Amino acid sequence: MKALDASRGNAALLRRYLSGAALHAVAAWGGLSLSYCAYKAYVRALTGTFPLGLKWEIKSAFPSAIMIFAAVYVIRRALFSGAAKTSDYALMLAAYLCLVNTLALSYSKEALLVFNLSAPFIAMLLGMLFFLKRLEKHIISLADRYGAGAEARRLASMARGLVAEAVSMVNGLPSGLLAAGTLFFMLAAILMIAKQPATAEVAASAAYFLMLSGVLLKLARSVKGGAQEGD
């Protein structure tokens, strides 16, 4: 019995670790994407163009930076219990910058510049995510103040139900995203051969987003399924 309880506890802990790592990986991807877009706009403003080779060189380095930030989160979670504070995230971002600047020396200076510029964007996205997580509580508290708490709770319950229903309707979504991402990568290669770099860039960006989304959804689903089997 104790072994079963310990197994369930370990499965729940692993689920929290991996779901948190997936969330922070998404935040890192978003921060890197915003940083890349800012750098691309800067280069285009100076030169009037942005070489497709440079785009591939920078974006091919994204997975390393994403894994580094997710690993920093997991290490912090393993060493310190409790919810992360602002100071914890400041230390996590500092560790992320130190690691990407030491472990990613094989990448170009342009990729390292995008890595370093991504830190404030990651901080901004995480701040927005945590604000949204607490938004329901604040809305209900405000509704209680004006005598509409019951209606606000009913609407919040309906919204959670709709989200749960939407999740149940997308059982095959991860595989579909991966397949779509593969098709977009093939399309990008064909467009490159056809000397259509601008359109190829759009297709490659879509492919990268679809495949990353598919991988993260598969990871989250496998963790959830493993926990249910343990129950």
154-197 pLDDT, tens digit per residue, is 766 666 665 555 445 444 555 566 667 677 766 776 776 677 66
Same domain? For 99 and 116 the reply is yes
Burial of 44 (0-12, 13-18, 19+ CB in 10 A): exposed
Residues 43-58: what's their mean pLDDT? 84
Of 27-41, 68-82, 128-142, where does mean pLDDT reach its minimum? 128-142
- Regarding whether 138 and 179 lie in a shared domain, the answer is no
Q: Are residues 196 and 151 in the same domain?
A: no
Under the banding of pLDDT at 50, 70 and 90, the label for residue 121 is very high
Co-location of 24 and 38 in the same domain? yes
Whether residue 1 lies inside any domain: the answer is no
Number of domains in the chain: 2
Structure confidence at residue 224 as a pLDDT band (50, 70, 90): low
Under the banding of pLDDT at 50, 70 and 90, the label for residue 229 is very low
Residues whose CB is less than 8 angstroms from the CB of residue 219 and which lie 6 or more positions away in sequence, other chains included: 18, 22
Q: Which domain holds residue 212?
A: 172-226
Residue 77 has pLDDT above 70, yes or no: yes
CB-CB contact of 139 with 152 (8 Å): yes
pLDDT for 174 equals 58
* Residue 40 falls inside a structural domain: yes
So what's the pLDDT on residue 198? 67
- Does residue 30 sit in the same domain as residue 112? yes
pLDDT, position 2: 55
- Region 145-155: what's the mean pLDDT? 68
Q: Average pLDDT, stretch 103-117? A: 82
Are 226 and 10 contacting, i.e. CB atoms less than 8 angstroms apart? no
Q: Which of 130, 150, 169 is the last residue of a domain?
A: 169
Task: Give the tens place of pLDDT for each residue, 200-219.
Answer: 767 777 776 776 776 666 66
Most confident of 97-111, 115-129, 161-175, 185-199: 115-129
Does 159 lie in the same domain as 189? no
